[in-house]
Amino acid sequence: MIILPTTKVKAERVNPRKIILFGKPKIGKTSAIANLNDCLILDLEGGTDYLDALKIDIIKLSKEQGVEPIRVLKQVIGSIKESNAKEGKYTYKYGAIDTISILEDMVMPIACKLYQQTAMGRNWQGTDVTTLPNGAGYQYSRSALWMVLNELEECFDTLIILGHLKDKFVEKDGKEMTERGLDLIGKSASILSANVDAIGYMYREDNKTMVNFQPSETVTCGSRCEHLKDQKIALIESDETGKITVDWTKIFI
C-alpha cells in the first residue's frame, strides 16, 4: 500500500540534473566547460585541442582504434560506470557532451540497427534512416539518441549538453518570426528541451558572455531550478587587460 502525502514534500535537488547550453559557434561554450571543476568533457568534434581540460577526444580515439566513434563512446561509458561502481560514487561530478549535434550523427549506426530489427526494415541495407520515405526514420534516430543520453545521464551527477544555435522561421498568431533553439533534426530539439531541467542560451554582451534562462517567444530557454528561473547570468567576463574569468557559482550553487 502506498502512503499518500499529507504535507508538502521537500525538493530533492537544487542544481539541474540535465542542462542544455547552446549558442553560436565559438561563443565560448567549450572554454567555459573546461574551467568547470570536476567536469569530464566528451569531445566529439575536436573543440578541446587548444584547451587544458579534463577531456576525452572520442574522434581521435576512434581513428586510433579504427572503429566507429559510437563504439569508442560506448567504451568510455562502460569505463565510467565501472569506475563509479568501484568507488561507490560518481568519478566525475559533471559530464559534458560537446556537441549534441555531433552525437545525433554519431548514433546513426544504432538507429539503423533499430530499424533493421523491425518487420519493415529487416531487408533494408541503408546507412541513414532519415532518408526513409515520409520521415519514417526519424523516430529511430531519436530513439538511438535517447538511448545513449540515458546511459550518459547515469554516469554523472549532472549531464551538460552543449549545442549549436539554429534559427528557424515559425508562425505565431498569423505572424512569421525567427525562433532561436537547439540545432537538432526534426522534433528532437523540442523533445530534448522538454526533458531537461534547464536550457541556457549563450550570447555576448559587451565584454561578457551571458547565459539567458529567460523564456520568450523568440528564444527556447528556461529552467525548473529556482535559482535559474528568469535569470541572465554572466558566465565569462574579460577585463581591460584581457584577463578572462569564468564563474559557474551562479549556475551550480
Per-residue model confidence as pLDDT tens digits over 10-54: 988 999 999 999 999 888 999 999 999 999 999 998 888 888 999
- The answer to whether the pTM exceeds 0.85 is yes
pLDDT tens digits, residue range 129-165? 999 998 889 999 999 999 999 999 999 999 999 998 8
pLDDT tens digits, residue range 10-20? 988 999 999 99
Q: Which three cell numbers stand for residue 208?
A: 561578457
pLDDT tens digits, residue range 199-245? 999 999 988 999 999 988 778 889 999 999 999 999 999 888 878 89
**Strand-pair partners of 238:** 244
Can you give the pLDDT at residue 174? Answer: 63
Residue 204: partners with Cβ closer than 8 Å, 6 or more residues away: 27, 210
Q: Which three cell numbers stand for residue 37?
A: 571543476
Rounded Cα–Cα distance for residues 69 and 77 (Å): 12
